[in-house]
């Protein structure tokens, strides 16, 4: 795992877990500097931890924002 992904993973998981407890899903903005390899690595690790990760794009007032929509996989 890259140092970048490793350094943010724990913070990301805490945010995700709190969001999922409150609303059932979490949205992780991709506005901060993710290169494609780091993003893929993070998505793979989250998927391995039983999260359903979907990339989504929203356009609001002409501004394009990319997010990872993350939900806990339920059995």
Quote the pLDDT of residue 33.
59
pLDDT tens per residue across span 13-72: 888 888 888 988 888 776 655 678 888 888 888 888 888 888 888 888 998 888 888 888
For 20, residues 6+ apart whose C-beta sits below 8 A from its C-beta are 26, 70, 71, 72
Quote the pLDDT of residue 64.
83
Quote the pLDDT of residue 5.
78
Quote the pLDDT of residue 25.
87
Dihedral sign for Cα 55, 72, 3, 30, please. Answer: positive
Q: Which domains are delineated in the chain?
A: 3-72 (3.30.110)
Closest CA to 27 of 71, 69, 74: 69
Predicted TM-score (pTM) of this structure: 0.63
């Amino acid at each position: 795992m890259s140092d970048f992904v490793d350094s943010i993973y724990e913070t990301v998981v805490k945010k995700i877990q709190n969001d999922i407890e409150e609303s059932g899903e979490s949205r992780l903005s991709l506005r901060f500097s993710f290169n494609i390899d780091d993003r893929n690595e993070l998505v793979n690790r989250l998927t391995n931890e039983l999260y359903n990760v979907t990339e989504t794009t929203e356009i609001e007032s002409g501004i394009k924002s990319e997010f990872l929509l993350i939900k806990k996989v339920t059995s």
